[in-house]
Chains A and B, each alone.
Chain A
Amino acid sequence: MKREYTWCYIFIAMPVLLFLAFTLYPIVSAFIMSFQYYSVLESTWVGLDNYKYALTDPVFWRSMRVTLVYTVGTVPVNVLISLGLAYLVFQLRERARTFFKAALYLPAVTSGVTMSLVWLWILDPTPSGLLNQALGWFGIDNVIWLGSSKTALLSLMLMTYFGSHGPALILYLSAMGGIPKSLYEAADVDAASNWSKLRNITWPLLKPTTLYLLVTGVISSFQVFMNVYLMTQGGPNFATSTIAYLIYQNAFRYFDFGLASAMSFLLAVVIVAVSAIQFKYMSTDVEY
């Protein structure tokens, strides 16, 4: 009996050890660090100073606002786009379905770095930039997409709309496949319109999927860093300085690890709170 347990613990050893070294220890360490002025050589206990500094720092609040605008402007829109695409693809024959699934999925396998570079080129401020070329056909003047504080954040949001909706699409399609046909047949007996079927049958039964996509989407959107780093460096005039980019700068440009840790805990609190709110308002125990 005892030998059996030994093997159990050996089987789970790797994830547990990695968790202790690269998750649990860092969480505890970051928490302590957030109450210190911490640099590589020395550290002094400063109590709540880092938190106070962050919460009274206009730069911190501006970054929070930028992150919030980006999240609100991308996550729900992209979930709706995925749902719309799934609704359309679902009505097609099997072979057409597979084609569209594959075509819409493809961009998801390319890296964020690659897509950032391509979009840097699409959004090029000169008339040879693709988007400016396209707008030129309609007689619209050149836009300095990433170079203007008015359009920079919008540009970063725009590129997510034309990114891949493949993974979300596939989740929605499999959820749609799980909705019993009898529900639609019953609706047909009542001569329900397509819109009514979508609103009263499809949408409520897809709620768990929608909730999952919203929660995971918000979590990753709150941590957006790479596009900002590669495309705008937080500029112009801090218009795209997201909270994740600010934390990166504090930690790895200014080496103020204490302040960066405090900010990352504040970010964690926001993420957990937003996720909890989403669960509260979205989760309904749907059984079918």
Chain B
Amino acid sequence: MDVRSNAAGKVRIVVIYAVLLIWVAFTIIPLYWMLVTSLTDATMSATLSPSWFPLKPSLAPYARFLGKSQAPRWLLNSAIVACAITLGNVIFSSMAGYAFAKLRFPGRDAIFWILLSTMMLPYHVTLIPTYILVINKLGMGDTYTALIVPFLCTVSNTFLMKQYMSTLPSTLIEAARIDACTEFGIYRKIIFPIAKPGLAVVAIFTFVSYWNQFFWPFLVTSSNSMRTVQVGLASFRFAEATDFGAMMAGAVLASLPVVALFFSLQKYFLQGITVGALKG
């Protein structure tokens, strides 16, 4: 597909660049508009007409958002929940992935396929009984436990780690077994360290998706101080329905951690997602 060799090829490349840059502009505009609006001071949407560049940038919308909400607490809650879930998934999905990929035990394949078979089921089927279980039967409404425990080791991460582990050489494990390592010792001293690139991918995607999670925290939190930042932002949208400046300020604050993560670990985002997605 080398098309750069002649004049027609050059024109073609220029056209490709133009189309792609226009499309990039379309996808970036919403984020840019969010940032510009959050820096423009006006309280009512009808009077708010931000220019494309904030000529008189103002932090007033941020002050309003912080003043009318419990944003620092929401951000803290999101950080606690997303970090705990990420840590859980790194540890438990790597253990399970290792067992499913490299160890032999009765029922292994059956258990794995049973876990996997329910992935296609819509979330709403399990939602109501899970809600009743957590809120009414276990009385865990409005707690970190309710926000964290159901997601400590997801089936998709277990699947991802199983795919990843099966690419690791079995000879290392056999060598360790001859050296009389215990099974847990093999996992901790050999498997966990060499699985780190795969685990980085699991960690990043898990953190982002639970930082951004909305529905479950929305259902199980009832007090303002237990809300995660996404739920808090949603409640702010209904409480201050016309104050787009403050809403956008909140949106910027809620996005900053994941956007920062994206820019610092771009490599993992852009390669990682293909791991295990199409195999099996």
Q: Which residues of A contact B (CB under 8 A)?
A: 3-5, 7-12, 14-16, 18-19, 21-27, 29-30, 33, 40, 85, 88-92, 96, 98, 100-107, 109-115, 117-122, 124, 126, 128-130, 133, 162-165, 167, 170-171, 174-175, 181, 184, 208-209, 212, 219, 222-223, 225-226, 229-230, 244, 247-248, 251-252, 257, 260-261, 264-265, 267-268, 271-272, 275
Q: Which residue of A lies closest to B277 (CB)?
A: A171
Residues of A close to B13: CB separation below 8 A: 91-92
Tell yes or no: B113 within 8 A of A by CB. Answer: no
Tell yes or no: B259 within 8 A of A by CB. Answer: yes
Alpha-carbon distance A165/B106, docked complex (angstroms): 42
Assess the A219–B278 pair: CB atoms within 8 A.
no
Residues of B close to A271: CB separation below 8 A: 120-122
Residues of A close to B29: CB separation below 8 A: 130, 162
How far in angstroms is the closest Cβ of chain A from B229?
9
Q: Which residue of A92, A107, A118, A252 is within 8 Å of B33 (Cβ)?
A: A118
Residues of B close to A112: CB separation below 8 A: 212, 214
Assess the B126–A22 pair: CB atoms within 8 A.
yes
Among the 9-residue stretches B16-24, B53-61, B167-175, B193-201, the one with 4 or more Cβ atoms under 8 Å from chain A is B16-24
How far in angstroms is the closest Cβ of chain B from A133?
8
Assess the B118–A27 pair: CB atoms within 8 A.
yes
Q: A30-B125, A226-B215 given as contacts; is B254 within 8 A of A114 (CB)?
A: yes
Residues of A close to B81: CB separation below 8 A: none
Residues of A close to B124: CB separation below 8 A: 223, 244, 247-248, 260, 264, 267
Tell yes or no: B46 within 8 A of A by CB. Answer: yes
Tell yes or no: B139 within 8 A of A by CB. Answer: no
Interface of A is mostly: helix
Q: Which residue of A101, A226, A261 is within 8 Å of B270 (Cβ)?
A: A101
Residues of A close to B100: CB separation below 8 A: 12
Residues of A close to B27: CB separation below 8 A: 103-104, 106-107, 162-165
Residues of B close to A226: CB separation below 8 A: 214-215
Assess the A15–B92 pair: CB atoms within 8 A.
yes
Alpha-carbon distance A16/B155, docked complex (angstroms): 9
Assess the A114–B251 pair: CB atoms within 8 A.
yes
Residues of A close to B187: CB separation below 8 A: 11
Assess the A16–B111 pair: CB atoms within 8 A.
yes
Q: A25-B129, A170-B273, A268-B121 given as contacts; is B237 within 8 A of A107 (CB)?
A: no
Assess the A122–B111 pair: CB atoms within 8 A.
no
Q: Mark interface residues in B129-140 (1 if CB within 8 Å of A CB, else 0).
A: 111110010000
Assess the B155–A8 pair: CB atoms within 8 A.
no
Residues of A close to B26: CB separation below 8 A: 162
Q: Which residue of B lies closest to A168 (CB)?
A: B273
Assess the B184–A40 pair: CB atoms within 8 A.
no
Alpha-carbon distance A102/B2, docked complex (angstroms): 23
Assess the B126–A27 pair: CB atoms within 8 A.
yes
Assess the B92–A14 pair: CB atoms within 8 A.
yes
Most buried by B among A27, A114, A171: A114
Residues of A close to B93: CB separation below 8 A: 15
Assess the A107–B103 pair: CB atoms within 8 A.
no
**Other A-B pairs beyond A7-B103, A109-B255, 4, CB < 8 Å:** A14-B88, A19-B155, A112-B212, A128-B45
Q: Which residue of A11, A24, A25, A33 is within 8 Å of B99 (Cβ)?
A: A11
Alpha-carbon distance A130/B48, docked complex (angstroms): 11
Assess the A5–B106 pair: CB atoms within 8 A.
yes
Assess the A223–B122 pair: CB atoms within 8 A.
yes
For chain B, residues 19 to 57, give those with C-beta under 8 angstroms from any C-beta of chain A. Answer: 19-20, 23-24, 26-31, 33-34, 37, 45-49
Assess the B255–A111 pair: CB atoms within 8 A.
yes
Alpha-carbon distance A18/B96, docked complex (angstroms): 13
Tell yes or no: B62 within 8 A of A by CB. Answer: no
Assess the B270–A170 pair: CB atoms within 8 A.
yes
- Across the A-B interface, give the 3 residue pairs with the lowest CB-CB distance, nearest first: A111-B212, A7-B183, A11-B99
